[in-house]
Amino acid sequence: MVQQIKPGQFVQLEYNGRLLEGLVMPRSLYEDEKHITLKLKNGYNIGLDSGKVRLVKVVEYETPAQPIEEKSYNEIGNGPRVLIMGTGGTIASKVDYRTGAVKPAFSAKEIVDMVPEIGNIASISIKTIMNELSENMKPENWSVMSNEVYKAFNSGYRGIVIAHGTDTMHYSASAVSFAIENPPGPVVFVGSQRSSDRPSSDSAINLQGAVTFAAKSNSSGVFVAMHAGLDDNLVAVHRGTRVRKNHTSRRDAFESVNDSPFAYIDIEKGTVKQENETTPQGKIKLMPNFLAKASIFKFHPGISESLANAVFGGDLLSIIIEGTGLGHVSREVFPHIRSAITEGKFVGMTSQCIWGSVGMTVYETGRDLMAMGVVPLGDMLSETALVKSMWALGNGLDLGSVMPLNLRGEIATRRPVEK
């Protein structure tokens, strides 16, 4: 009897003496054939042992909706020209509850239909430039993003919004920050912590905030726009080189580290509040190449000899150390570091601490490391330092000269903001 139950059916089932009603969901990659998943009317999914299920009746069944024919929509809405770039999956999405699948919304008309507020903020265009999950992003993807941003600004767009998965969004934001020098307007990365089929989804508010900043701010640079708190009234805009995802699931997971948010967007009023503006210091310049010959070495007590040897003795050209406190590692690692620097590799020091700066002149260990040639990187985030070194390598720059410089706001020029 259970073989008659198919994904997409709205059914009544008897299970352990209880009557259940809901939508039969498609089997995921890791589900076995002995279980079925039922989406209840309250929105929650439950897994059922198929051997204990009795089909009472099929309440309703519809065939899955066919994809809507892609149409070319351009500049839907009114106001400054803003391009929304899609990098993976959906920019916004509609859930087809007949199948449980998410229907992508790639056209400008669909986006404005789903988040109609943005059509009153800007003239929206959409371009899908890749389809990669956040965790699958590679340096070559950063190059594609950077090239597309450069072309968009040269085509007259006032601002650009890049829809991106949240897990590695801060890496990509750093990458585009270095690859594009003097952008004439804002480039705003935006993501969603919770999918659009959940009542607590943050996707529409984040997108609205990102478009507002892209359309109304006069600032030049690369930014990340996400919820400022748990409420839907405020979106925080962070510098692309100073932001980090600090929570797995909260809507306000992204925080500016050693810095204050660059701006806030009042969603209800549609206003941008920022203390300073950044203006381009020359013509836009593109340096989009990245070389993935760099890595982060996270020091910890009891670190193995084989790991240290693999990192410092391998084919990497740049090693960013996440040291303890002010920038320290144990003396067992010293020979590996010394050998790597002797071979001409760049070794930079950041801190495992999220807030604060390395200070390698305070203790003997730090001074010894500097004497070997380890370069202190101030309060630069280790993720930003990694991306910056890949960018420097890819564009033939001297890391020893470039890495300590503050190029895109990645290093504080004054004492970092205390947490």
Which residues are designated catalytic?
90, 166-167, 245
Residue 65 to residue 358: CA distance in whole angstroms: 56
Which residues 6+ apart lie within 8 Å of 266 measured at CB? 233, 234, 273
Buried b (16+ CB within 10 A) or exposed e, 370-382: eeeebbbbbbbbb
Q: Within 10 Å of residue 208's Cβ, how many Cβ atoms?
A: 23
Cα gap 347→318, rounded to integer Å: 6
Query: Is residue 105 helix, strand or coil?
Result: strand
C-alpha distances in Å from residue 70, one per residue of 73, 103, 111, 299: 9, 13, 13, 50
Token pair recorded at residue 21: 């009603």
What is the helix (H) or strand (E) element at residue 210, kind and residue range?
Answer: helix 203-216
Using only the alpha carbons of the chain, give its radius of gyration.
25
d(CA 166, CA 89): 12
Rounded to an integer, what distance in angstroms lies between the CA atom of residue 73 and that of residue 112? 11
> What's the CA gap between 259 and 223, in Å, rounded?
13
Buried b (16+ CB within 10 A) or exposed e, 226-265: bbbeeebebbbbbbbbbbbbeeeeebbbbbbbbbebbbbb
